Structure 1
């Protein structure tokens, strides 16, 4: 079928459904069974979306008309799906088990991935055994990850989410994350650390990122000042470099034995599965890291092989397309009901908005519709006391993803298990009220309520139910969202793997550094920037 025909059919379907409230749709006793989908211990509940089962059929037809299955094949087989940079996007290769091969440009990328994992395992074992020694001969007991964007958000999110899975060998190692370019995070942290027992992990794909190198240079000088030793000694004992440009890491002074490699085809927001995930492996052990990879690989296989109508990432993507392009909803809230997932909304903000925040199609033409919505979120119970007021009674339509594990604290105290039951109850109740509004109450109570106590409902939401939050399950969850992003990019006809907007910002910031130090600013600058530069320089001159 032609994509234009599919879009026309979907517009007709949307028009006919706009007058129907979710309370009416949810009166169907078979709706939950029809609109829930499962794979490997994970359940996707679409029953609170403003659509019918046949709407999904129409959306799948749209995906087929965009040759989605062929595009999935291209992704996993190493074709250059990142068209503007002429390279593959092989994050799926990073979690492919040993024993398989994938040749890209005459090289087996799986063999390279496994070689890096082996070196990671060796470094982690050295740290966990206390054999990695600082300049004084004391064992390293603190690791500070220096990175930004994907080199920070993924490892940070995962380490916090899986902190309960720390093996005994890792219990004595503190882990910190530094990303801010202004030095505020690092400055405060360094005052609390022992330089003789602190190891810095410098994570930068290009090894030219100003934010990251500025923090690294401050950390390096701190160690030199504290020890009185040469830079070579400091870098050998206190730095690991993770990069796709090992020659630049060597120029900076990090010895090759302290370097871990990843590749140009690993996008920053997909890099936690690579050597960038070293802090994760330090935190939860190499076995835990491999379980994380295994969970993601389970979804990779499902995404590649499952029929589109039963494919969890595809269905999640298609529901997003329906909301954004047919129901005109452009705000998306991520609402985990588990405190361990506090950093998940920020992680997904980067994954989705940096990937699909595009207005130019693969052929260079302007898109003729909306692409990525604005994402934000918070742990559900906190959000209930912050922005749920807007969700329930505001003027904006918002699609929501509720994410919650069914089980927690199964081997802990009754009071902790009761707290998890409280989180579950709140999650289900909020999803219910967002869908039903006043109709969640009895008719008499709803009818007698004053206007300021009325709830319109009809806010669509998805519930993603995990059995438990384990390394394997978290790997599944993140991979589902990754493949959702790719599916939507295929349908919108955009490239989700470049980020030229980000690159422009970096280039302009580098040029602005020079302007800050000039006595006379360039007359090519705009009046607003010139005004601020003059004001800043006046204040700096006053001291």
Structure 2
């Protein structure tokens, strides 16, 4: 069967199912059993989507028709699946266990990955043992990660999520993240830190990212001013560089022994598994970081080997395809019911929208289908007091992902266990009300409510139930979403591994720096920009 025939069958099914309310579908007592799927401690519940088991069969047929199996093998096998940059996308190799090999363009990439992991292990060991000394001879007790995008979001999200898994050796090290180009994060932070005991991790794939280097230059000058020492001494004691361009890091002044390497086939939003994950390794220890990698690798194996009918990333992707392309739902809320996952929505915003926010197919044509929806999200309890009003009674159709661990605080106080029960109850209740609306109540009570108190329901949602949040299960969760993104890209025939959409704005910003210093804006600029530049110039000249 060809893809267009599959799309045609799905459109016919959608015309029927669009007329049905989720309350009707959920009256089937077998529905949960037929539309929930488990693997290695993670349950994917798709029973609150407006589809049937046979709809999933049709979606699987579409995936088959699009050659998904061959595309998965190409991804994990090291083929050049990123055609606009003519390279592989080997984030899966970053979590491939030692002892395996994968030759790409004549090089065993797994051997290189393991070499970097060994050096990470050494650096983390030096830090945890108190042997890394600042310019005064005191042990480093503070680490500041300077990065932006994937060099910030992944490590920040993971370190926050795994805070309680810190080994004793890392508890004496404070960890901070700086990403804003305006200096606001850094200026406030430096005023509270001791320069003699602060180490900066400068993370930049190209080592030319202007926002990252601006923050790094400010940090370097702060250390020079505080110590009165030569820049070479400061950089040797207080900077680690993580980059795919070691020659650029050397030019900036970071000595080779303080550098960690990753590769140009590591996309920024897929880079937390690489040396960019050094802050994670500092926070959780290398054992914790390796558990994170092992969880992701377990999903890589599942993604490549499991039949699509039981394949968690594929099924999650297909449910999204159904909602986006067949039910015309173009908003997606990420709703973790665990405060440790506070930064997960932001992380997934980058992962999905930078990957699949494309309108041009692999052959250069305009995309025939809607692609990535708008993602946003928040911790569930906060979201309930913010945008759930729109979810329940607004005019927009929204699909939601509820993410929650089944167990927490099992060895802690009864009051903390009760708080987790409260989070679970709210998660399940909100998913229920989004699906059923006020049909969750008895009919008489619902019918008696005034219009402004009615809930229409019929909002689809996925529940991802994790046995327990650990480094391993967090690795699984992130890998599931990564492979979901790739699956959808295959079906939409787009490239999820480039991000040309971010380039023009950066180039224009560099040119705009010169305009800010000109007394008269260039006539080549548009009138709105000229107007703003004139206003800014006038204000800057005002005492």
Which TM bucket (shorter chain)? Answer: over 0.9
Deviation string 1:454-504 (CA, Å, 9 cap, x unpaired) is 100000000000000000000000000000000000000000000001111
* 1:365 partnered with 2:368: no
- Report the secondary structure of 2:47's partner residue: coil
How far the C-alpha of 1:519 sits from its partner, in A, is: 2.7
* 1:104 partnered with 2:104: yes
* 1:474 partnered with 2:459: no
Matches within 5 A, 1:491-506: 491-506=491-506
Give the aligned partner of residue 172 of structure 1: 172
Give the aligned partner of residue 63 of structure 1: 63
Give the aligned partner of residue 446 of structure 2: 446
Give the aligned partner of residue 483 of structure 1: 483
How far the C-alpha of 1:187 sits from its partner, in A, is: 0.2
Deviation string 1:292-347 (CA, Å, 9 cap, x unpaired) is 00000000000011111111000000000000000000000000000000000000
C-alpha separation in 2, matches of 1:157 and 1:52: 35
How far the C-alpha of 1:362 sits from its partner, in A, is: 0.5
Deviation string 1:101-130 (CA, Å, 9 cap, x unpaired) is 000010000000000000000000000000
State whether residues 243 and 249 of structure 2, in contact with CA within 8 Å, keep that contact through their aligned partners in structure 1. Answer: yes
How far the C-alpha of 1:400 sits from its partner, in A, is: 0.2
C-alpha separation in 2, matches of 1:210 and 1:315: 39
* 1:434 partnered with 2:409: no
How far the C-alpha of 1:34 sits from its partner, in A, is: 0.3
How far the C-alpha of 1:369 sits from its partner, in A, is: 2.1
Give the aligned partner of residue 198 of structure 1: 198
Q: TM-score, normalised by structure 2?
A: 1.00
How far the C-alpha of 1:447 sits from its partner, in A, is: 1.1
Tell me how many residue pairs correspond in the alignment: 543
Q: Which runs of 5+ in 1 are unaligned?
A: none
C-alpha separation in 1, matches of 2:335 and 2:215: 32
C-alpha separation in 2, matches of 1:143 and 1:396: 43
Matches within 5 A, 1:22-101: 22-101=22-101
Give the aligned partner of residue 459 of structure 1: 459
4+ residue segments displaced more than 3 Å: none
Matches within 5 A, 1:210-229: 210-229=210-229
* 1:385 partnered with 2:378: no
C-alpha separation in 1, matches of 2:44 and 2:304: 18
How far the C-alpha of 1:523 sits from its partner, in A, is: 1.7
Give the aligned partner of residue 18 of structure 2: 18
C-alpha separation in 2, matches of 1:520 and 1:207: 33
How far the C-alpha of 1:520 sits from its partner, in A, is: 3.1
Give the aligned partner of residue 7 of structure 2: 7
State whether residues 436 and 456 of structure 2, in contact with CA within 8 Å, keep that contact through their aligned partners in structure 1. Answer: yes
- Report the secondary structure of 1:520's partner residue: coil
How far the C-alpha of 1:508 sits from its partner, in A, is: 1.1
Deviation string 1:259-291 (CA, Å, 9 cap, x unpaired) is 000000000000000000000000000000000
- Report the secondary structure of 1:199's partner residue: strand
Matches within 5 A, 1:39-438: 39-438=39-438
Q: Which runs of 5+ in 2 are unaligned?
A: none
C-alpha separation in 2, matches of 1:412 and 1:446: 40
- Report the secondary structure of 2:48's partner residue: coil
How far the C-alpha of 1:416 sits from its partner, in A, is: 0.2
Deviation string 1:143-193 (CA, Å, 9 cap, x unpaired) is 000000000000000000000000000010000000000000000000000
C-alpha separation in 1, matches of 2:28 and 2:491: 30
State whether residues 178 and 186 of structure 2, in contact with CA within 8 Å, keep that contact through their aligned partners in structure 1. Answer: yes
Deviation string 1:229-285 (CA, Å, 9 cap, x unpaired) is 000000000000000000000000000000000000000000000000000000000
C-alpha separation in 2, matches of 1:522 and 1:105: 47
How far the C-alpha of 1:54 sits from its partner, in A, is: 0.1
How far the C-alpha of 1:511 sits from its partner, in A, is: 1.1
C-alpha separation in 1, matches of 2:54 and 2:22: 16
- Report the secondary structure of 1:130's partner residue: coil
- Report the secondary structure of 2:537's partner residue: helix
How far the C-alpha of 1:368 sits from its partner, in A, is: 1.7
* Residue range with higher mean Cα deviation, 498-507 or 143-152: 498-507
State whether residues 520 and 534 of structure 2, in contact with CA within 8 Å, keep that contact through their aligned partners in structure 1. Answer: no
* 1:535 partnered with 2:535: yes
C-alpha separation in 2, matches of 1:73 and 1:493: 16
Q: TM-score, normalised by structure 1?
A: 1.00
C-alpha separation in 2, matches of 1:490 and 1:333: 23
Deviation string 1:53-88 (CA, Å, 9 cap, x unpaired) is 000000000011100000001000111100100000
C-alpha separation in 1, matches of 2:40 and 2:422: 26
